[in-house]
A and B are shown apart, each in its own frame.
Chain A
Amino acid sequence: MSVVLPGDIVLARPNAHSALKLGPGLLQISSPLSLSSGDDPIIATRPGLLKNIGGKQWWVERNLVRYTPSTGESVVGIITAKHSNGFRVDIGSAHQASLDELAFESATKRNRVNLKIGALIYARVCLAHRDMEPEIECVDPTTHKSDGFGELKSGFMVTCSLGLARSLLSNSHPLLRFIGARFPFEVAIGTNGRVWFKASEVKQTACLARAIEWADGEGEGLSEGAVRKWIEANIDV
């Protein structure tokens, strides 16, 4: 693992590797020194840790705050406007996403979904392209089932960094697992750095909000034991 700065050459001769896959933070640029276009070096375009899987898939890992949509990701959005055949949704990216009124389970032209402005929804990004506004949906297009997506009623939403949201989504992060052993709650984690949860008591909701705030700041990257210790010291529900 190494730290790279923008402009650092990651792979000088990509032709020597077969079937490279470049993830976020890497770019192949033309260089006057290279003989053919396939020989152009690959540089880092953002600072962070250079990681790879098997020398084939490369990316630069970095914790961000600003979300850029990417197809297939689950996001928590806020309805900002209604129009004739859908909604405008704030998902934290540069452009507002559009949500079709038929992109819900069992929604038809007759049976419309009624969402108020300010309502929270959990949705999947189904179209993400830098030249087009993102589109999101609350239904699986193959099965026409909601699959857990839809309006998030009551509950509470907090924001966190994109890195924490991603690690909370993976089962390896101990925070929600340990708190879940104390009291039951519902949670929806958006990769856009928004976490919604619903617990039965206000005290529990406050504990969850505080735990996420802690995990994003001083508790970042701590071991399972340290997380357990913090929960024991700070959560008495």
Chain B
Amino acid sequence: MRPMSLQWAGLSRADGGARFAFGRTEALASVSGPIEVRLTSEYPSRATLDVIVRPLVGVPGTCEKLFGKRLQQVFEQVLLLNQHPRTLVQVVLQSLSSSPPPGSAITGSVAATLINVTSLALLHAASIPMRGVVCAVAVGKERITGNLVLDPDPLRMDQESIGCFGFLFSESNEPQAVWTDWTGRFGQEYHNALNLSRSGALLVVESLRRSLQTDSMDIS
């Protein structure tokens, strides 16, 4: 796995923000909420979650919209949105590494980075209660040997990304897979990849916990 870097970003106009990177795959997120919601997207019994994904250059296309929608659906289950009815929780994700060519789906370590940075920013804001922490990691394959590797580097030609798995971690339950992207073969390879990524995602949670413990400035 490439070295991780997490940073609780001080975005002055947002309620919370964070930066996360696997090596040179980096993303920034901001969270605002609960804030006032437009009448058309208001729900009487829960908060509206809005996820906006921005690529490094240009405007969000279909792929970014689709990815945002999927993230929204996952985090709607993780956040306790019923605690703040008739409000809006807005998450804005900004990719900071060179994006895949326009029109190609967000997968692999870019997807994992975006999932992790969303969790981090929501933790930093802390204004919306959560059931647990979602952490993700990409799984790849070595082109020559066919061995599975954690967090394949998109810049390395000898590795290809074949999936991304996100898990919900909470002490009251076993880690549950809440995000699955898979282009490899099903069967044994899939199970191996799932187990490998679970151990990888656990490393992300642990480094997140360590960062919270040392960074006493953010918690007072």
Contact = CB atoms under 8 A, between A and B. Distances in A.
- Bin chain A's interface residue count: 20 to 34
A61 interface: yes
B56 interface: no
A122 to B, nearest CB: 23
A63 interface: yes
Nearest to A10: B171
Contacts, number: 109
A3 B217 CA distance: 13
A9 B172 contact: yes
B39 to A, nearest CB: 13
B26 to A, nearest CB: 22
Given A49-B219, A64-B127, A163-B220, A6 B132 contact: yes
Interface string B196-220: 0000000001001100110011111
A45 B213 CA distance: 17
A3 B36 CA distance: 31
B219 A6 contact: no
A182 to B, nearest CB: 26
- Bin chain B's interface residue count: 35 or more
Contacts of A25: 126, 129
Contacts of B171: 7-9, 43
Contacts of A94: 33-37, 84, 86-88
B170 interface: yes
Given A41-B172, A61-B220, A6 B130 contact: yes
B133 A7 contact: yes
A43 B220 contact: no
Given A5-B212, A6-B130, A93-B34, 16 more contacts: A6-B133, A7-B172, A9-B172, A25-B126, A61-B219, A62-B219, A64-B15, A64-B126, A65-B125, A66-B15, A68-B84, A94-B36, A94-B84, A94-B86, A130-B85, A221-B220
Interface of A: 3, 5-9, 25, 27, 29, 31, 33, 41, 43, 45-49, 61-66, 68, 93-96, 130-131, 163, 220-221
15 contacts: A5-B205, A6-B130, A7-B130, A7-B170, A8-B170, A8-B171, A25-B129, A31-B172, A43-B172, A45-B131, A47-B212, A63-B220, A65-B15, A94-B37, A220-B217
